[in-house]
Structure 1
Amino acid sequence: MTQYPMTVQGADALREELNHLKTVKRPRIVSDIADAREHGDLKENAEYHAAREEQGFCEGRIQEIEGKLSNAQIIDVASIPNRGKVIFGVTVTLLNIATDEEVKYQIVGDDEADIKNNRISISSPIARGLIGKEVDSEIEITTPGGVVEYEIIAVEHI
């Protein structure tokens, strides 16, 4: 069985979504289906078909989240001693050597990745290039735009 790395915050967000789907959305969909059935002929009842389709999506998402949580390897990086090495869950501050720009990324699981909030997937080229490196290391990351050189300025366990 494959385990998928996930931060504590990522697992909490999935549990919250699962709870919302089961306690709010699922009962509303069941009610919508019951209301649509009262309108008569189900063959040509668009409301009924739409509610059934939404029910299928909802149930699929519930199964997907339950599967992810059951195979999750939840890592609380805050409880791991900081030795200046880049590991899953850390927040890394990088300096682009060519442009002198600083950027900060947190390395998270695939489902938690959100580049707008500087959360990059463990599977991304940048994260793969960073894992195992230490503070003050210079690394080259191959990106779609070419090779970019970075220096690791800081590694935080937050």
Structure 2
Amino acid sequence: MTNIPMTVAGAEALRNELKRLKSEDRPRIIQAIADAREHGDLKENAEYHAAREQQSFCEGRIQEIEAKLSNAQIIDVTKLQNNGKVVFGATVTVYNTKTDEEVTYRVVGDDEADIKQNLISVNSPLARALIGKEVDDVAVVTTPSGEVEYEIVNVEYL
């Protein structure tokens, strides 16, 4: 597996989720399985099967997070010298020439992406168009409704 780029905040969020899964969810599910076993016949015990399914999801997520963290390349953009270029982790303010709107995005890893919080994946078409560009450069993004031009207004390494 290759290195997975991740911001410091993204890695911390995954560590917190892993800690919660191991220290809270896993013991709760184990207790639910034990309680369901006491009800008798396991073949027709819906509570038991539901708890086992929860356990399966929990263990799968724990393995997934551990794999991601072990392959994570954590990039702290605040430690980089701001040369004005859009890089992974940078916060970019762009001007959409079609809609006359100015929007600020942060380029993050796939797991951290959340468009509602203006966190865009480094693998998204917009981020790929922005990476390497500087202030006043224009990035052209091909969308289903045609090409959209974004002028880079500001680049910050926060």
**TM superposition score category, shorter chain reference:** over 0.9
CA distance in structure 1 between the partners assigned to 2:99 and 2:31 by the alignment: 57
SS at match of 1:112: coil
* Deviations 1:72-125 (CA, angstroms, capped at 9, x unpaired): 000000110111000000000001123321011000000000000000000000
Q: Name 2:6's counterpart in structure 1.
A: 6
Q: Name 1:50's counterpart in structure 2.
A: 50
CA distance in structure 2 between the partners assigned to 1:61 and 1:54 by the alignment: 11
CA distance in structure 2 between the partners assigned to 1:61 and 1:135 by the alignment: 40
Query: TM-score w.r.t. structure 1 length?
Result: 0.98
Residue identity matched to 1:31 = Q
Identity of paired residues, percent? 70
* Structure 1 stretches of at least 4 aligned residues deviating more than 3 Å after TM superposition: none
Query: Where do residues 115-130 of structure 1 align in structure 2 (5 Å cutoff)?
Result: 115-130=115-130
Q: Deviation at 1:141?
A: 1.1
What value does the CA root-mean-square deviation take over the aligned residues?
0.7
**Higher mean Cα deviation, 105-114 or 141-150?**
141-150
Number of matched residues?
158
CA distance in structure 2 between the partners assigned to 1:92 and 1:104 by the alignment: 5
Runs of 5+ in structure 1 lacking a partner? none
Runs of 5+ in structure 2 lacking a partner? none
Q: Name 1:76's counterpart in structure 2.
A: 76
CA distance in structure 1 between the partners assigned to 2:19 and 2:38 by the alignment: 29
CA distance in structure 1 between the partners assigned to 2:87 and 2:143 by the alignment: 20
